[in-house]
Amino acid sequence: MSIDRTILPIELQQVVFAPRDQVLLGPINLTLGAHARTVIMGANGSGKSLLLRLCHGLIAPTSGVIRCGEQAGDPQTACIRKRQAMVFQRPVMMRRSVRGNVLYALRLRGVRGSRAEQLTQQALALVGLEALAKRSARVLSGGEQQRLALARAWVIRPEVLFLDEPTASLDPDATTAVEAAVQRFAEQGTRIIMTTHSTSQARRIADMGIWLDQGQVTQHDPLVRRTL
Amino acid sequence: MTIRNSLGFWLGVALLVLTSHTVNGQDRGFITVASTTSTQNSGLFDTLIPQFEAATGIAVRIVAVGTGQALRIGCNGDADAVLVHAPAAEQAFIDQGCGVDRREVMFNDFVLIGPRADPANVAAADSAIDAFARIATEQAAFASRGDDSGTHKKELSIWQAADIAPAGGWYRALGAGMGAALNTAAAMNAYVMSDRATWISFNNRQDLSIVYQGDPRLFNQYASVLVNPERHPIQYDLAQVWHNWLVSSAGQAAIADYRLRGQALFTPNAP
Amino acid sequence: MLDAFAGAAGLLLTGDPTLTHIVGLSLRVSLSAVLVASVLALPVGAALALFRFPGRTGVVVLLNALMGLPPVVAGLIVYILLSRAGPLGSLGLLFTPQAMVIVQSLLIFPIVAALTRQMVSDLWVEYREQLTSLGASRVRAIPSLLWDARFSLVTALLAGFGRAVAEVGAVLIVGGNIDGVTRVMTTAIALETNKGNLSLALALGVILMGLTLAVNAVAFAVGEFSRRRYGV
């Protein structure tokens, strides 16, 4: 991984997302990534996932600017290729082994060979999947798949990791395991930006909370963290 | 297996498969001869070619189609020689500059095949023309090759000599090779004209038998013609060896010796 | 019919070298054609699934239509191209197994390309966000999608193989049915039919069907094994 210039902070200026003239999000002015762990909260349809996808660069704002670090990135490509990654609520497991999924993410960033093997091993160890490395990814349980998605996202050592309701479809034990992995990533220096609709999860994880309602930021406050 | 590795692997397999198409090593190469379905179906080549190959070390590849198509294949330079049976068409082939050096090799004869019951009473005919006229008068089912082959050309020439323009539901132009036409005739219980060799080697006769034969008009001459080497880069030298061998005493003896079910199928008649 | 099965068994048991050669050539030609066609058709099909460009709909419709390309027409086109009197005549490929591979590839290409486009389209719906998020460009996504669709794509390849190995008109025109050189199962069946040896022709037909069945069974078994191992 080359030493890129930092993509922090992520700055949204007057960002609006309005496909077919229907405003789903914005206008939003927001600076993200200043805190180690940020959660975005709101009801279903409040625009949490859209905000994450805009920041990640999966969708382009209808108007406004998203800056990654100092320069304004082309949101379609530039931001996404930089040092950030995302984990979806229902991540797609590629039809490969657990190891193969992580190696694939590295290969897309040009990391191969023994270095890739080493990074993969570390990432799998961090989420507790090293014993399942040779198993096919698609036969894992939901919780295991989500942990693999975390490892696959984190293995490129992103500066920022976006998590879109990563535990929404998991049972309590799997949720605990995922939260633990997220905490370990944060301890390794990765900024976490995560959506959730669970206030208790927000308190367990985050030190900064953003509340969205109908596409608007309604509150932006530090949270008092509860220890696990 | 990563994508990269597997792609390489399959390309390797592909190359192996493709290159394994080498033909068993022949000492002097091979020639391609366009010939007719009648000679192929008779099995003549199965005895003729091994003898030729043993004598000369040249392999022969036979492409068996109708005489018309065989001549076109020769004219395109896709064969080195032709062995066909339609003298007028052969002459035209030479006149157009497609071929050179026609040599008569052998003959057999055409026979009129029909249902044993012989509804048109063809057996009583006193000539081939009379036989065809009887079929037309009775409007008895007749299967024509209809494929511009030597047999087809011969059949048309007899209708013409009889001054009959065959048409109507009883006359069926099949557009098929000799064997396929015999199969169809057997199924329809129709009259059909065939060369004797194909008939003798044919195994699905059902109710068919020879109903008329022997008119000199039914004489069927086979000739070998070389493809014009000035037109296309063909294997002229090798083809000449084949051409000469067919009319040599060895080639003529091989033709005379070929028998099926105790009957000689072709009579050598090289001058 | 029973005679045909008995005849087929007899032919197989005697291990007749001519039959062995014919069966081997049928397999070699058709498998080669599947490989040649796939090397081109898989990326083309995938690219059609991923990229939008003017005229794309037309290409897709054409491809679907060409799945029904009459083999005799394909044979005629390749014959005209490869004939000494044609543009590629100097290659001397007419009446060789290579010519048969070419014509069968032509027949298989639209099938594999059209089915690939469909399968990769479906997979792209599922993978699109994830691959983009991981940083894959569309060009880079093509091999990834093809690899992840490999179990479904086997079906496309089998459809192509089935069409190739069962086809007679095209290989007859460009191969010439030359004994020991270009005679394959289908042209041998046609020849024996024309000789009136219907039972022998049927016996050969039974062997050809057995062959197709065996290839499909092996592919199915491999597919099921892998599917179970990798999940759907």
CA terminus-to-terminus distance, chain C: 41
Q: Compute the Cα dihedral for A86, A101, C217, C208 and give only its sign.
A: positive
Res B141 pLDDT > 80: yes
Mean pLDDT in residue range B175-204: 92
Q: Are B248 and B147 found together in one domain?
A: no
Nearest chain A alpha carbon to C146: A95
Residues of chain B with C-beta less than 8 angstroms from the C-beta of C99:
none
| Out of A72-81, B262-271, C164-173, least confident range | A72-81
Whether B64 and B35 have beta carbons less than 8 Å apart is answered as: yes
Containing domain of residue B248, as a range? 3-107+221-268
Mean pLDDT in chain A? 86
The larger pLDDT score, comparing residue A199 to residue A148, is at A148
Interface test mutation site (partner C, options A58, A92, A155, max chain C beta carbons within 10 A): A92
Chains that touch C (3 or more CB pairs under 8 A): A, B
Mean pLDDT in residue range B131-144: 95
Mean pLDDT in chain B? 89
From the list C28, C176, C194, the residue facing B17 with the nearest CB is C28
CA distance C143 to chain A (A): 12
CA distance A209 to chain C (A): 24
Cβ contact A58–C130 (<8 Å): no
SS3 state of residue B28: coil
What is the structure's pLDDT at C232?
56
| Out of A20-24, A123-127, B47-51, C226-230, least confident range | C226-230
Res B84 pLDDT > 80: yes
A59's CB contacts (< 8 A; 6+ apart) are A17, A50, A53, A75
Res C185 pLDDT > 90: yes
From the list B10, B63, B75, the residue facing C176 with the nearest CB is B63
Q: Are B20 and B42 found together in one domain?
A: yes
What is the structure's pLDDT at A176?
92
C220's CB contacts (< 8 A; 6+ apart) are none
What is the structure's pLDDT at A225?
56
Q: What digits encode the pLDDT tens for the residues B22-70?
A: 444 445 789 999 999 888 888 899 999 999 999 999 999 999 998 999 9
Nearest chain C alpha carbon to A57: C133
From the list C132, C148, C229, the residue facing A94 with the nearest CB is C148
Q: Are B191 and B238 found together in one domain?
A: no
Percent above pLDDT 70 for chain C: 98
What is the structure's pLDDT at A197?
85
What is the structure's pLDDT at B14?
54
CB pairs under 8 A between B and C: 95
Q: Encoding tokens for residue C143?
A: 């091999």
Q: Are B199 and B225 found together in one domain?
A: no
Decide which of B200, B218, B236 is a domain's last residue: B218
β-bridge pairing B30-36 and B81-84? parallel
Q: Are B64 and B157 found together in one domain?
A: no
CATH number at residue B83: 3.40.190.10
A87's CB contacts (< 8 A; 6+ apart) are A146, A149, A150, A153, A161, A162, A163, A164, A166
Q: CB of B32 within 8 Å of any CB in chain C?
A: yes
CA distance B144 to chain C (A): 15
> Domain C21-185 sits in which CATH superfamily?
MetI-like (1.10.3720.10)
pLDDT grade for B250, boundaries at 50, 70 and 90: very high
Res B74 pLDDT > 60: yes
Tell me the domain boundaries of chain A.
Answer: 10-222
Residues of chain B with C-beta less than 8 angstroms from the C-beta of C195:
41, 179, 201-203
pLDDT grade for C4, boundaries at 50, 70 and 90: confident
Res C176 pLDDT > 80: yes
DSSP chain A: ---PPP-PSEEEEEEEE-GGG---EEEEEEEESSSSEEEEE--TTSSHHHHHHHHHTSS--SEEEEEETTEEP-TTTHHHHSSEEEE-SSPPPPSSBHHHHHHHHHHHTT--HHHHHHHHHHHHHHTT-GGGTTSBGGGS-HHHHHHHHHHHHHTT--SEEEEESTTTTS-HHHHHHHHHHHHHHHHTT-EEEEEES-HHHHHHH-SEEEEEETTEEEEEEE-PPPP-
Q: CB of B179 within 8 Å of any CB in chain C?
A: yes
Res A129 pLDDT > 60: yes
Rg (CA), chain C: 20
Q: CB of B20 within 8 Å of any CB in chain C?
A: yes
What is the structure's pLDDT at A5?
64
Res A2 pLDDT > 70: no
What is the structure's pLDDT at A33?
77
From the list A92, A95, A139, the residue facing C130 with the nearest CB is A92
Res B2 pLDDT > 50: no
Res B16 pLDDT > 70: no
CA triple C216-C222-C226, angle to 5 deg: 140
Q: Are B115 and B213 found together in one domain?
A: yes
What is the structure's pLDDT at A74?
52
Q: Are B226 and B100 found together in one domain?
A: yes
What is the structure's pLDDT at A4?
55
Q: Are B86 and B119 found together in one domain?
A: no
What is the structure's pLDDT at B139?
94
Res A71 pLDDT > 80: no
The larger pLDDT score, comparing residue B24 to residue C168, is at C168
Q: What ipTM was assigned to the predicted interfaces of this complex? A: 0.88
Cβ contact C83–B76 (<8 Å): yes
What is the structure's pLDDT at B254?
94
Nearest chain A alpha carbon to C126: A92
CB atoms within 10 A of CB C167: 24
| Out of A82-91, A215-224, B27-36, C164-173, least confident range | A215-224
Mean pLDDT in residue range A26-46: 87
Q: What digits encode the pLDDT tens for the residues A181-195?
A: 999 999 988 999 999
Interface test mutation site (partner B, options C78, C79, C194, C200, max chain B beta carbons within 10 A): C194
| Out of B71-85, B182-196, C3-17, least confident range | C3-17
Mean pLDDT in residue range A103-123: 93
Q: Which CATH number fits domain A10-222: 3.40.50.720, 3.90.950.20, 2.40.50.180, 3.40.50.300?
A: 3.40.50.300
Mean pLDDT in residue range A18-28: 89
Residues of chain C with C-beta less than 8 angstroms from the C-beta of A86:
133
Interface of chain C against chain A, CB under 8 Å?
126-127, 129-130, 132-136, 140, 144, 147-148, 150-151, 229-232
Res A81 pLDDT > 80: no
Cβ contact C32–B10 (<8 Å): no
Res A82 pLDDT > 70: no
What is the structure's pLDDT at A207?
85
Q: CB of B17 within 8 Å of any CB in chain C?
A: yes
Q: CB of B75 within 8 Å of any CB in chain C?
A: yes
Mean pLDDT in chain C? 91
pLDDT grade for B210, boundaries at 50, 70 and 90: very high
| Out of A77-81, B244-248, C59-63, least confident range | A77-81
Chains that touch A (3 or more CB pairs under 8 A): C
Q: Are B7 and B96 found together in one domain?
A: yes
What is the structure's pLDDT at B13?
54
Q: CB of B177 within 8 Å of any CB in chain C?
A: yes
What is the structure's pLDDT at A223?
73
Residues of chain C with C-beta less than 8 angstroms from the C-beta of A92:
126-127, 129-130
Interface test mutation site (partner C, options B35, B61, B71, B227, max chain C beta carbons within 10 A): B61
Count of domains observed in chain B: 2
Residues of chain C with C-beta less than 8 angstroms from the C-beta of A108:
134-136, 140
Residues of chain C with C-beta less than 8 angstroms from the C-beta of A74:
none
Q: What digits encode the pLDDT tens for the residues C7-41?
A: 788 877 787 888 889 999 999 999 999 999 999 99
β-bridge pairing A37-41 and A191-196? parallel
Mean pLDDT in residue range B155-162: 95
Interface test mutation site (partner B, options C25, C35, C84, max chain B beta carbons within 10 A): C84
Q: Residue C140, Cα to own-chain centre: how many angstroms?
A: 27
Cβ contact A92–C129 (<8 Å): yes
Tell me the domain boundaries of chain C.
Answer: 21-185
Mean pLDDT in residue range A10-24: 89
A227's CB contacts (< 8 A; 6+ apart) are none
